[in-house]
Amino acid sequence: MKKRETTPKELKNIIDLRQLGSSWTKIAIETKVERRAAKRAYDEWEHDKEIKERDAVRFRVAAEAWQEHMNDLVSLASGLVSKLSVSTKLADLEEKSEQFFSSLWKEDLLQRFISPETGEKIYPGDLATYYREQELLFESLKAHTKGKVQWDLLDVNWKEAKDKCANIVPQLKKEISLVVGNSIVQQKMASSLEKAKEGTSDSEDPRKRIEEVILTHIWQSVFWDKLDLGSPKFEMEIDGKIISVKSRDIYVRSRDVIVFTFTDKSNKDLAEKLTHLCNSVVNTLIKGNEIQSLYSEVGNIKKAHQELGEMLTPVKLKPIIIHSRCELCPV
C-alpha cells in the first residue's frame, strides 16, 4: 500500500503539537493523520532540519575562512608592495634580490604573529611555520592573479634592477674614494686638513669623512631625482670664528650635513678650497658611468614598484581574488 503523504498544513500542525509535548496518539486524533504516518513525517522533517543546520554551519565556517584567506592575501600584497619601494638607506641597496626575499618572509607582513595592541605573540605556531605560511600565501597570491598581474615586473624587472644596484654601489664607493683621494693630493690639502683638525675632539679621518658625506649627498640626489649640475651642493658658512663646509640637504636646510668644521678664521682659504673640491668631485662623479647606471636602475626599481603597486591595490585585488581560486582556497 502506498504511503500517505502529509500535506504542508498537516505537517505544520504535527510539528507544533509535538513540540508542545503532545503524544503521538493525541497528534493523530488532532490532525486526523494516522499515528505512524505522523511520526514518520515528523522524523523526516527533523532529519532534514538537522542537515540544513549542519549545512548552514559549514557555509558560515567556509565563508569566514574565505574572508580570512582573502584578507591575508590583501595584507600580504600590501606588505610586499611596501617593501619593494626604494629604501632611503643606501646600505639596503647593496643587498641582492635573493637576500632580500630570504629576509622578507621573516618579517611579520601579515601582522598576525605579534599583537599590535599588546605586543604579545598571538600566532598559534612557531616562527618557522609562520614564515612558511607567508611564502605559501605568496604563491597563492600569484595563482589568484595569474594573467591579471604582471609578475614579471617583480621576477624580472625589479630583481634585475635590484641586483645591478647591489653591484654598482661598491664600485661607486671605490670611485668616490679614488676621485676624492686624487683631488686632495692635487690640491695639496691632506696635511692642511690634518693640521686644522688638531686641537678638536674629532678623531675621524678627514678624507673618509669627505668620502662619506659626498656618497650620502650623491645618493640623496639619485633617490630624489635631483642629478642637476646647476646649483652648488656644498657651501661654506661662517659663524663668528667657526667656518663650516656643509652638504646642503635637497629640501630642508635644517638637515644640512657638516663635512668639516674649522675653528680658526685663518683657515678660510682652506675651507673655500674644500668647498670647491666637494662640488667639483660631485659634478665629476654625476657624469660618470657608476652614478648614471645607479640612477637608471633605481628608476627601474621605482617604476616596477609603482606599476606592481597599482595592480595590487586592494580595491583592484579583491575582485580578482573573489573570481579566482588557488589550492589554499577554502572549499
User: What pLDDT score was predicted for residue 316?
Assistant: 96
Looking at per-residue confidence, does 194 or 288 come out higher?
288
User: What pLDDT score was predicted for residue 125?
Assistant: 84
Per-residue pLDDT of 97-148, as tens digits, reads: 999 999 998 888 988 888 877 878 888 888 899 999 999 999 999 999 999 9
Percent of the chain scoring above 90 in pLDDT = 42
pLDDT interval class at 3 (50, 70, 90): low
Q: What letter represents residue 204's amino acid?
A: E
Q: Is the pLDDT of residue 199 over 60?
A: no
Cα 27 to Cα 18: distance, rounded to the nearest angstrom: 7
- Give me the mean pLDDT over the 258-284 stretch: 88
pLDDT interval class at 93 (50, 70, 90): very high
User: What pLDDT score was predicted for residue 197?
Assistant: 73
Indicate whether this model's pTM tops 0.85.
no
What 3 state SS string does the chain have?
CCCCCCCHHHHHHHHHHHHCCCCHHHHHHHHCCCHHHHHHHHHHHHHHHHHHHHHHHHHHHHHHHHHHHHHHHHHHHHHHHHHCCCCCCHHHHHCCHHHHHHHHCCCCCCCCCECCCCCCECCCCCHHHHHHHHHHHHHHHHHHCCCCCCCHHHHHHHHHHHHHHHHHHHHHHHHHHHHHHHHHHHCCCHHHHHHHHCCCCCCCCHHHHHHHHHHHHHHHHHHCCCCCCCCCCEEEEEECCEEEEEECCCCCHHHCEEEEEECCHHHHHHHHHHHHHHHHHHHHHHCCHHHHHHHHHHHHHHHHHHHHHHHCCHHHHHHHHHCCCCCCCCC
User: What pLDDT score was predicted for residue 1?
Assistant: 47
Per-residue pLDDT of 15-34, as tens digits, reads: 888 888 888 888 888 888 88
Domain ranges of the chain: 8-63, 160-294
Q: Is the pLDDT of residue 5 over 90?
A: no
Cα 247 to Cα 234: distance, rounded to the nearest angstrom: 5
User: What pLDDT score was predicted for residue 19?
Assistant: 85
User: Which of 85-89, 184-188, 252-256 is least confident?
Assistant: 252-256
pLDDT interval class at 49 (50, 70, 90): confident
Instruction: Answer for the pair 14, 46: CB distance below 8 angstroms, yes or no.
Output: no
- Give me the mean pLDDT over the 153-162 stretch: 97
pLDDT interval class at 92 (50, 70, 90): very high
Q: What letter represents residue 44's amino acid?
A: E
User: What pLDDT score was predicted for residue 190?
Assistant: 79
**Maximum CA pair distance of the chain?**
124
User: Which of 82-91, 165-174, 228-237 is least confident?
Assistant: 228-237
Per-residue pLDDT of 207-256, as tens digits, reads: 898 999 999 999 988 998 888 766 678 999 888 888 888 888 777 666 88
pLDDT interval class at 196 (50, 70, 90): confident
- Give me the mean pLDDT over the 270-293 stretch: 90
Residue 301: name the closest of 97, 138, 147 by CA: 97
Which CA distances in Å does 278 have to 168, 217, 228, 258?
Answer: 21, 10, 15, 12
Looking at per-residue confidence, does 240 or 282 come out higher?
282
